[in-house]
Homo-oligomer: A and B are copies of this chain.
Amino acid sequence: MSQQTPHLLRADARDNRDRVLEAARTLFAEQGLAVTMRQIARRAEVGPATLYRRFPTKQTLVEAAFADEVRACRGIVESGCAAPDPWRGLCSVIEGLITLNARNHGFTEAFTAAAPDADVFTTHRAALLTLLTGLIRRAREAGALRRDATVHDLVLILQAGRGLSALPPARRDQAARRFATLVIDGFRPVVTSRPQLAGPVPSQP
């Protein structure tokens, strides 16, 4: 499941490194990136120095810990784009990404980081955005998508999905699926024959 650990490390070092990564993944997923390096070291039953030797910076630890998630993202997006029907592909992307994000408080935080300083995820993000732009375009041209939908809307709802990872872990999955359902229906073409009781909503004073 994880990337191969460099075999140049001594056996015990390799072991400690793995334990650190596992601890980091667990804590990041549960509590987000705010967990301290110390907390991670303690959970891995390792001294602070050991942690810092392998991962001099929290950034490097975050990258290593979320390598799997980045791959999962790629997989979700690529298989969605490869689907013969762009609308179904888009649906699976939406559900997949929202669920993945809801499961991983920390990953979402890292991947949608507001501060892009030295952000290694930026590259991945850009690549995925390109793919998604194409998918959206195809779905729109197929008439399966509301006309005014853009890739920015997709980013927007993923950004909104961040809120879900604040829920208690037990409820995140169900919430994510339901949210995906609602959002997907919101992406469908606006059918004027549907009950049009609502006009523009007056903004709140």
Whether A164 contacts B175 in the complex (CB less than 8 A), given A182-B183, A189-B195, A197-B88, comes out as: no
Whether A182 contacts B189 in the complex (CB less than 8 A), given A87-B197, A161-B160, A204-B100, comes out as: no
Verify if A56 is at the interface (C-beta below 8 Å from B): no
CA distance A183 to B61 in the complex (A): 36
Interface size grouping (class) on chain A: 35 or more
Q: State how many copies of this chain the complex holds.
A: 2
B-contact 0/1 string along A159-182, CB 8 Å cutoff: 111111011100000010011101
For A142, the closest partner residue in chain B by CB is B197
CA distance A157 to B146 in the complex (A): 20
Q: Contact between A188 and B182 (Cβ–Cβ < 8 Å)?
A: no
Q: Contact between A204 and B72 (Cβ–Cβ < 8 Å)?
A: yes
Q: Contact between B166 and A159 (Cβ–Cβ < 8 Å)?
A: yes
Q: Contact between A186 and B189 (Cβ–Cβ < 8 Å)?
A: no
Point out residues on A near B: beta carbons under 8 Å: 72, 75-76, 85, 87-88, 91-92, 95-96, 99-100, 112, 114, 142-144, 146, 153, 156-157, 159-164, 166-168, 175, 178-180, 182-191, 193-195, 197-199, 201-204
